[in-house]
Structure 1
Amino acid sequence: MVTVRSGGPADGVTDVGPPSDGDFEEFYQAFFQPLTIQLFAYTGNMAAAQDVVQEAFCRALARWKKVSRYDDPGAWVRRVAWNLATSQWRRARTAALFMRRQREEYASAPSPDRVALAKALATLPAQQRRAVILHYLADLPVSEIAAQEGVAEGTVKSWLHRGRTALAAQLTEKEKTRA
């Protein structure tokens, strides 16, 4: 049986003693809510408080044979939960500081030629599109593309030829409609 001692409802102080029979479920039921309330007051976020308290109990359960023998297993769970909450706060603070140091960069709009090329590439079969992109944009030689795709070099050359032919046809049509 878990004993719960309180300094009174007004002060909100709850002290949980060790379970007499080592029963984790009773310990959890007696301690989860008071600890969640404490962590909610600390974090200001009920979901975060519940998460860190739940994680602390998961860690306690994994070590329950050892933790249950402590004079005050509740103190161990409380310390773990507070440490987890502090770690989350530090990670959030570090991420916020990093984001503040980042400058917003504005990219110019793509040129009409780039848009036309992207649309034309999207119409190619996947193998031809990959071969064209890897060869012309990634500057990979035919031999590396063949090794990456697991095909013969002649196959890659064929994909490149067909891809270039299809792109040329599409892009010259677009030029004719522009003029």
Structure 2
Amino acid sequence: MSTLLEGDRTESPPAGISGFDEFYAACFRPLTVQLFAFTGDMAAAQDVVQEAFCRALSRWKRVAEMDDPASWVRRVAWNLATSRWRRARTAMAFARRHVEEHVAAPSPDRVALARALSTLPEQQRRAVILHYLADLPITEIARQEGVAEGTVKSWLHRGRTALAAQLTDKESHRA
């Protein structure tokens, strides 16, 4: 590791460097090595240092006037790396809590019902699902849909009739 770090301890740009290009050329490698030591991942180190330099470029007039512009870039890169680590830690904790759940395949009856429901007009389908699967009363469905209760009753009646016809046809074909 000492060979990797040799010559990479430049903290601020050498005297006489005033432009961003020279600053970048003088400081990118040492800062990347420092962030690599922190992250343990060269690609991540390069990414955060690049992002820090992009932020420095957008504020170059202010950053260039600082006593140690490289320290500012390092701090920004360090903060970016820390934020990435926190996001990764949060994502891993979420993944551990949400283990994949294996569920049995839907029964043939459920597949037939879903297929039959998909053939209903949208309003009838929504009314049937809300009433029979979500257990909403007709008054609540009417309020939600912005229609009269009689309209919802009509949708339910038509939907049940169409479902019964489709599902009994399918059952008679199975026998």
**TM-score, shorter chain, exceeding 0.5:** yes
Please state which band the TM-score falls in when normalised by the shorter chain: 0.7 to 0.9
2:117 to 118, 121, 125: 121
Conserved 8 A contact 1:67-1:73: yes
Specify the alignment match of 1:4 in structure 2.
Answer: none
How many residue pairs were aligned?
171
Task: Provide the rounded CA distance (Å) in 2 between the counterparts of 1:165 and 1:75.
Answer: 75
Task: Provide the rounded CA distance (Å) in 1 between the counterparts of 2:137 and 2:121.
Answer: 20
| 1:96-135 Cα shifts (integer Å, max 9, x gaps) | 2443455443212222211111111111122221121111
Specify the alignment match of 2:91 in structure 1.
Answer: 95
Conserved 8 A contact 2:116-2:166: yes
Matches within 5 A, 1:164-179: 164-179=160-175
Matches within 5 A, 1:52-91: 52-60=48-56, 66-91=62-87
**Structure 2 portions without partners, runs of 5+:** none
Specify the alignment match of 2:144 in structure 1.
Answer: 148
Task: Provide the rounded CA distance (Å) in 1 between the counterparts of 2:99 and 2:5.
Answer: 49
What SS does structure 2 have at the residue aligned with 1:71? Answer: coil
Task: Provide the rounded CA distance (Å) in 2 between the counterparts of 1:101 and 1:157.
Answer: 43
Which residue identity does 2:13 align to in structure 1? G
Please, what TM-score do these two structures have when normalized by structure 2?
0.73
2:8 to 6, 13, 31: 13
Q: Structure 1 segments of 4 or more deviating over 6 A?
A: 18-22
Which residue identity does 1:84 align to in structure 2? L
RMSD: 3.3
**Structure 1 portions without partners, runs of 5+:** 1-7
Higher helix share: 2
- Percent identity of equivalent pairs: 71
| 1:38-65 Cα shifts (integer Å, max 9, x gaps) | 545634252x445423443454456556
Conserved 8 A contact 1:19-1:26: no
